[in-house]
Amino acid sequence: MKKMIIASTSTVFGSGYLEYLLPILQEHFKDVKTLLFIPYARPGGISYDAYTSIAKKAFTKINIDVKGIHEYEDAKEAILNAEAIFTGGGNTFELVNQIYKNDILTVLKDVLEIGTPYLGTSAGSNICGVNMMNTNDMPIVYPPSFTTLGCIPFNINAHYLDPIDGSKHMGETRETRIKEFHVFNDTAVLGLREGSWLSVEGDKITLQGKFTARLFKQNTQPIELESGEVVNC
């Protein structure tokens, strides 16, 4: 049975890395001693070692050790033997590119489906959906496919932003971009605001956090989901 936390972000304004989620993660990763970290998204282009160190420092606060997947000779074996898994944010194109390059998409999906506890933030949440086509990231590399884990039956738009009243910005809003996506695709998209996350227990997906989320479906007006509400798509 799936046991996942799919968060819009690792860091909310005014707090440290994962700080706002640590009380939740302490329960989510109960009895976990060592966490497997997937640093492939490389935010700001930092190295895998540097990114793993950031995650390690955060999880030390709840007495969990962290080891990067790049530290293992066999990435597939690392996933199969992991007590729990965390995929961090950064660039979704590069994250997906490395997932395919290391041939771990299927094995990662398999272990999550049978209940290995998982945390995704930002790009690490984007890959939980049907595909990565609603990422906000620049296509700095070209992955072999946009198909991702499909652990949830919709896509995530992380860091979702509402239009600002009176703004003179002339570019597209997030809502406009998602509407463009729905001209050609029928996959539902959840706009997940900062500080919000999804709790996945088996097939039950529940919105958590302080804020609502915006659910977009093809040929349908978007709706606001309240925190605590089950997401049905």
Asked if 35 and 85 touch (Cβ cutoff 8 Å), the reply is: yes
H or E element in which residue 24 lies: helix 22-28
- 91 inside domain: yes
* Residue 183 lies inside a defined structural domain of this protein: no
- What's the pLDDT tens digit per position in 146-191? 999 999 999 999 999 987 776 666 568 999 999 999 999 999 999 9
Catalytic residue annotation: 122, 137, 159
Residue 90 lies in a domain: yes
Q: Which amino acid is at 102?
A: N
pLDDT at 68 exceeding the cut of 80: yes
Q: What is the pLDDT of residue 171?
A: 64
> What average pLDDT does the chain have?
96
Per-residue pLDDT tens digits for 7-32? 999 998 788 999 999 999 999 999 99
Rounded-to-integer distance, Cα 74 and Cα 72, Å: 5
Phi, psi for residue 178 in degrees, rounded to 5: -70, -35
Residue with tokens 């160190």: 53
Domain interval for residue 42: 3-159+188-213
Nearest to 117 by CA among 39, 226, 24: 24
Strand, helix or coil for residue 191: strand
Q: Are strands 118-121 and 3-7 parallel, antiparallel or unpaired?
A: parallel
**pTM, rounded to two decimals:** 0.96
pLDDT of residue 14: 81
233, pLDDT greater than 90: no
Provide φ and ψ at 103, rounded to 5°.
55, 50
User: Residue 104: which CATH number?
Assistant: 3.40.50.880
3-state secondary structure of 230: strand
| Span 93-140, pLDDT tens digits | 999 999 999 999 999 999 999 999 999 999 999 999 999 999 999 999
pLDDT of residue 123: 98
Residue 169 within any structural domain of the chain: no
pLDDT in tens, 33-61: 999 999 999 999 999 999 999 999 999 99
The confidence score (pLDDT) of residue 121 equals 98
Read off the pLDDT of residues 198-211 as tens digits, 9 standing for 90 and up. 999 999 999 999 99
pLDDT at 198 (0 to 100): 98
Q: Is 217 exposed, middle or buried (0-12, 13-18, 19+ CB in 10 A)?
A: middle
6 touches 129 (CB < 8 A): no
User: Looking at the domain assignment, is residue 174 inside a domain?
Assistant: no
Residue 218 lies in a domain: no
Number of domains forming the structure of the chain: 1
**C-alpha to C-alpha distances, 221 to 1, 131, 165, 182, 224, nearest whole angstrom:** 32, 22, 20, 12, 10
